[in-house]
Amino acid sequence: MTAPKPRLSFWQIWNMSFGFMGIQFGFALQNANTSRIFSTLGANADEIPILWVAAPLTGLLVQPVIGYLSDRTWHPRWGRRRPFFFIGAVLASLALIAMPNSSSLWMAGLMLWVMDASINISMEPFRAFVGDMLPDDQNTSGFAMQSFFIGIGAIVASSLPAILTWWGVPNTASAGLVPDSVKWSYYLGAIAFFGCVLYTVLKTSEYPPHEHHEPTGILAGIRESFSGIFQMPEIMKQLAWVQFFTWFGLFCMWIYTTAAITGHVFGATDTSSDAYNRGANFVGIAFAVYNGVSAVFSLFLPFLAKNLGRTRTHLVCLVTGGLGLASLWFATGPVWVLVAMGGVGIAWASILSMPYALLASSLPAHRMGYFMGVFNFFIVIPQVCASLGLAPLMGGLGLTPMQVVVFGGLFLILAGLLTLRIRDEIH
């Protein structure tokens, strides 16, 4: 029987979560600008989902293997999760510099693969890090702190193109070229990613594992990771459907919000026009708003979870986000968009914390990284389905980008209702 984990102070939880702010610089820039880069390089609206398939596929392959390997890694000075934080940060920072300099669609698609794989190398062990270091009754606080830093990082990163434009950096470019406002946003994001992760690596330590597993190689990790689907704890099975519809809905938003807002609200489709690029910058502001709301709301999640229970809290948050996203259909101007995205922010705070808090309490400590990686299947599989299915669905049904975004909101509501099936032993 292992000794109980000591409770950590606020600042210890702060330090171990700070690196997630840098990781979110990478993800926020990717989510807000990838479709813009693809469109600038000549992609049509119905081609964008296929180009996005790189992101979930890399997560499907990388996260469970990294979790498996990090469970079996131990260094007296650097621990078992922190080496992966650092390696991922170096690779992701380089990819962020390269992405906006892509000269063709195939190059941008390739760089999305590299960037997403690198971000996942850092991100997956961060989830397991909370389970490693905190006792069960602090898990919600630990993941809520991660949500707070995710929100702060995303506010800044999503707003960078608009901020740089305000400072005089050109926001338009010749056809087929990425504007300097986007390029410099990625360069600053690379610096923030590396710096924030390095802070956590240097300011935290890890407990030695009670059971040490020798590394058995990447192929063994792939084999065991995919077999993990058949070894899932019961609560992971219950969460699987919630995650599937949650992340399908989110992917609808990430892929098509730029096209939906620039066309529906700003009335622009020409990617080299000033109206389109103002609209695309505004999408970054809208994403910053939902992440800002998420950062603030995450501070209240432990209180809500304590009083409502974790599953009911997640239900309320997902339905609020779904209604916000679906309401964009009625948007008549930028203010409406910002209010709607505030609802998404409430859902986002819970999405980033409640499922992991529910899961971490039921996982064996020596396989925390492994099962967190397996759990990622139910994030990336719906994204793969969206990437491969939305293009033919749009063509067959004649859906507009805004209609796809609205369907994303309905999927979030469905995911919220499915939380009623989850049995949580800890409140």
In-domain check, residue 109? yes
Q: 312 CB contacts (<8 Å, ≥6 apart)?
A: 419
For 202-252, what is each residue's pLDDT tens digit?
A: 999 888 766 555 555 556 655 665 565 666 778 888 898 999 999 999 988
Instruction: Provide the pLDDT for residue 427.
Output: 47
E strands in 337-395 = none
Q: pLDDT band for position 188 (50/70/90)?
A: very high
Given a contact cutoff of 8 angstroms between Cβ atoms, the answer to whether 67 and 219 are in contact is no
Report the percent of the chain where pLDDT is more than 70.
89
Q: Facing residues of 75 across strands?
A: 79
For 246-283, what is each residue's pLDDT tens digit?
A: 999 998 898 888 888 988 888 877 777 888 888 888 98
Q: How many structural domains comprise the chain?
A: 1
Q: 344 CB contacts (<8 Å, ≥6 apart)?
A: 253, 290, 293, 321, 324, 325
Q: pLDDT band for position 401 (50/70/90)?
A: confident
Question: What's the CATH code of the domain at 250?
Answer: 1.20.1250.20
Instruction: Provide the pLDDT for residue 1.
Output: 43
Mean pLDDT of 145-158: 85
Mean pLDDT of 314-318: 96
Mean pLDDT of 3-9: 79
Taking all residues of the chain, what is their mean pLDDT, rounded to a whole number?
A: 84
For 349-375, what is each residue's pLDDT tens digit?
A: 999 888 888 887 777 666 666 677 777
Q: 159 CB contacts (<8 Å, ≥6 apart)?
A: 284, 285, 288
Instruction: Provide the pLDDT for residue 299.
Output: 85
In-domain check, residue 427? no
In-domain check, residue 4? no
Q: What is the 3-state secondary structure (H, E, C) of 159-196?
A: HHHHHHHHCCCCCCCCCCCCCHHHHHHHHHHHHHHHHH
In-domain check, residue 336? yes
In-domain check, residue 360? yes
More confident residue, 188 or 226: 188
Instruction: Provide the pLDDT for residue 2.
Output: 54
In-domain check, residue 158? yes
Residues spanned by the domain of 197? 16-206+218-421
In-domain check, residue 363? yes
In-domain check, residue 352? yes
